[in-house]
Structures are given as C-alpha cells and as structure tokens.
C-alpha cells in the first residue's frame, strides 16, 4: 500500500514523528488544502501530541498557525496535568504496597517512558498497569483501598457476580479513586504467561529492573520482556495508534534487546513471530526505516503472510480503510500458526478468549441486568454493532482486552 493513499494530515504526522525520532530523512511538508484542525484530531487519535509539539518547538519552519499551536499547547498541558496526578498517586500507592509486602511491576506508562527517554512524562498514558503475583491480588486490592481506591463498579452497579466474572476472570482489575481522572489496573501474573505476553510469571519478576526518578522507584519489566509485551499489545490492536509503533521501534533499536519469538504451546494470544514480522513490514512501509530490517521475514510463505496481514494496519492510517472483515482476518492471522507447532490447546484457548464476554459487551446494553450466559449468545451481534459504530466514527468509550 503506497503512502500516496494516506491523507495529507496523516502523512505529515508520520513524517514529523519519524524525523523527530531519527527514523526517516523525509522532510515533512504541508500540502495545499491542509486541514490543521483535522491534523490535531489525527495527532490526538495516535497519542503523539507531545512529540508533535516538541517537533514544532524545535523547527520554527514547520510551525502551524498560532491558534493551532495554542490548541496543541493546551492539549499537551492537560495531558501533563493528568500524568502529574498519576505520578503523585503512584508514590502513595507504592508506599502502601510496600507496607503490605506486595511486589508489583509497572508495565508501559511512566516506567516505559523512563526506560526509553529517561523521564516519566515523555510518552502519553492515561493509567498505570501493574503486574502482581496472582496469590497477592487480594492483598494488593486492600493496599489500594487503604489510600482511597476501590474496584471500578461503574459498569456493574451492584451486580457483583458479573463484575467478578468480567474482571477477575479476565485477570485484571480496574481501580479508581473518586474525584480523580486516573486509574490503576492490576494484572494477575500466574503460570507460564502473564496474561499479556507469553512470559513466565516467576522469571519476569526475577529479571525485572528497578528504575528511579527523583527519588521514586519504578520497578518494571526488563527491556527485552517489555519489548515483547509492547509488540504483542500493539499487534492486538493492529497498531492503530502510531505511538505503539514508535514505542516498539524505540525498544527494538536497542542492540541489547533480543526477543524470544518462540511460541508457547499454552499461550492463547497473538503469535509473537507473526506479530514481529508484521510490525517490521509495517514500520518499513510507514517510515522507510531500515532499523528493523533484521526482523523482516524471509522471502517465501512468511513474507507473503506478513504482506497480507500488514494491509489491515496500513488501512487504519488511510481514509476509509476496511474494518470488520479486515480485523477478523488480521486477528486470525496472528493467532493461528499454520504449521501447528503451537498445538490445538492454544487454538482452542484463542477461540474461547474471543468468544468470552467482555466489559464492552456489558457497556453495549447499559442498565440491562442480563445473566452471564446471555452475553455469550449476544456477543457476536454486540461485536458487529460496535465495529459498525466505530467505522461510522462513533465514540465507543471501550475498555478491556478484547472487542
């Protein structure tokens, strides 16, 4: 898919971010009829307002009209405020967790920002994800309760059995404090995968890193483990956010990072090798970058598969790209290894994970107290309706891992 199919605002954004990160030598150019307001919307959708603002400040020749720059400055300032609140809350939470004897690892968010850029506010994030040993989940919830946090019940009112099914069984719990626009998510680590990536729960904690910024500790995944998690997280969402592509590339450009792309028989998620093949090809097409050439699939079946899979993520950067069918093909392509070395167990678990109701299904029918089994029946229709709404530009306000 040629870059000429991108709208002018998206192409300018890609070139601007690539030049800012040293990924491309293409000079960003404003074409005739350029819509600056749409450019602001595209920048917000891809979560790169901070990168854009810094690029404009460093290159006056690229500066937009004054009113557009002022709008961008307000957006960046609002995000900085949210991140400052999150960091302050993390200081309180880390003390409560330490007092309770609960060890956690921070995933993405400020820890990834420190790992990549040396300080916790360089990349955008709206919550903090924490990996916690499954046996300590209740103790972790109690530690957060001691500083005013509770499980987010907005979706469930008093329906505790349904909340338990949709949150505990999905291996993550959302915690919120009244009056604050921030969240914490606790992800249970148990067994041979941590729920978000095929990483052994015990080994992840053993080889973790302890980062420090202004006297605050940020325990997090090792850079290699973080890279695999970020790649699979981006793959799960078809890299629809440019920020996830840039995060992945920033991690993988580090020569010390070596990804373990061996699929696990029990891992029900996206195939790591296929995900990396697709990302390398996507980055090559977006930026013309050669820094991921070492991850490009060899010519033959794997390359043909990567080409086919990358069409859908690329279409998301273009105007009017496919949605429902493209997503189905993309997800199936990342889940199922045609050589079957992942085994039937993983295939069955992949199908079961997609068929299982999610928090978004409950949100689709607000105020309707249906039993859980009803959502298994209604889920295909609810997923299709959300995809149609998303394609038409509706604001879904979705959460959770699956559609």
pLDDT bucket at 218, cuts 50 / 70 / 90: very high
Q: Are residues 46 and 146 in the same domain?
A: no
pLDDT for 342 beyond 60: no
Total count of domains within the chain = 3
Residue 299 lies in a domain: no
pLDDT for 354 beyond 80: no
What is the per-residue DSSP string for 344-392?
HHHHHHHHHHHHS--HHHHHHSTT----HHHHHHHHHHHHHHHHHHHHT
Q: Are residues 400 and 362 in the same domain?
A: yes
- Report the percentage of the chain scoring pLDDT > 70: 82
Q: Are residues 35 and 124 in the same domain?
A: no
pLDDT digits (tens, 9 = 90+) for 181-203: 888 999 988 888 888 899 998 89
Residue 285 lies in a domain: no
Which of residues 181, 201, 221 is at a domain's end?
Answer: 221
How confident is the model over 270-298, as a mean pLDDT? 86
Q: Are residues 144 and 202 in the same domain?
A: yes
Which of residues 221, 254, 278 is at a domain's end?
Answer: 221
C-alpha pair distances (Å), 119 with each of 43, 128, 348: 22, 15, 42
CB 390 within 8 A of CB 396: yes
What is the per-residue DSSP string for 152-178?
--TTTTT-HHHHIIIIITTTEEEEE-T
Q: Are residues 46 and 97 in the same domain?
A: no
Which of residues 188, 221, 254 is at a domain's end?
Answer: 221
Q: Are residues 161 and 207 in the same domain?
A: yes
DSSP class of residue 293 equals G
pLDDT digits (tens, 9 = 90+) for 261-274: 887 777 878 889 99
pLDDT digits (tens, 9 = 90+) for 304-339: 889 988 889 988 888 656 667 777 778 778 876 655
Q: Are residues 210 and 154 in the same domain?
A: yes
Residue 246 lies in a domain: no
Residue 265 lies in a domain: no
Q: Are residues 213 and 91 in the same domain?
A: yes
pLDDT at 169: 53
Q: Are residues 131 and 25 in the same domain?
A: no
Domain span at 46: 1-64
pLDDT at 75: 93
Q: Are residues 92 and 213 in the same domain?
A: yes
């Amino acid at each position: 898919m040629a870059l000429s199919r991108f709208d002018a605002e998206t192409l300018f954004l890609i070139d601007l971010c690539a030049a800012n990160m040293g990924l491309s030598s293409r000079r960003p150019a404003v074409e005739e009829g350029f819509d600056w307001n749409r450019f602001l919307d595209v920048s917000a959708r891809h979560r790169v307002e901070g990168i854009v603002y810094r690029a404009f400040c460093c290159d006056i020749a690229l500066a937009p009209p004054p009113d557009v720059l002022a709008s961008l400055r307000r957006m960046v300032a609002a995000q900085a405020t949210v991140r400052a609140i999150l960091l302050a809350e993390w200081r309180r939470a880390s003390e409560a967790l330490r007092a309770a004897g609960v060890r956690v690892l921070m995933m993405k968010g400020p820890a990834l920002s420190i790992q990549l850029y040396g300080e916790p506010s360089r990349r955008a994030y709206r919550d903090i994800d924490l990996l916690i040993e499954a046996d300590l989940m209740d103790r972790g919830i109690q530690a957060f309760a001691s500083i005013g946090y509770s499980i987010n019940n907005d979706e469930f009112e008093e329906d505790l059995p349904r909340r338990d099914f949709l949150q505990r069984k999905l291996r993550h719990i959302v915690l919120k404090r009244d009056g604050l626009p921030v969240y914490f998510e606790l992800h249970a680590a148990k067994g041979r995968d941590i729920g978000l990536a095929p990483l052994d729960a015990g080994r992840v904690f053993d080889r973790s890193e302890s980062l420090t910024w202004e006297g605050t500790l940020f325990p997090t995944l090792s850079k290699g483990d973080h890279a695999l998690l970020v790649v699979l997280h981006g793959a799960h969402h078809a890299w629809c956010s440019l920020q996830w592509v840039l995060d992945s590339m920033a991690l993988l450009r580090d020569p010390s990072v070596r990804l373990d792309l061996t699929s696990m028989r029990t891992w029900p998620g996206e195939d790591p090798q296929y995900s990396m093949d697709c990302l390398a090809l996507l980055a090559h097409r977006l930026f013309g970058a050669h820094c991921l050439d070492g991850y490009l699939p060899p010519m033959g079946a794997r390359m043909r598969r990567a080409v086919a899979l990358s069409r859908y993520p690329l279409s998301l950067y273009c105007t009017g790209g496919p949605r429902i069918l493209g997503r189905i093909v993309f997800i199936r392509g990342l889940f199922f290894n045609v050589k079957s070395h992942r085994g039937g167990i993983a295939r069955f678990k992949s199908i079961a994970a997609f068929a299982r109701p999610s928090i978004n299904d409950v949100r689709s029918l607000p105020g309707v107290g249906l039993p859980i089994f009803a959502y298994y029946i209604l889920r295909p229709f609810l997923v299709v309706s959300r995809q149609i709404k998303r394609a038409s530009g509706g604001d879904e306000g979705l959460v959770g891992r699956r559609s």
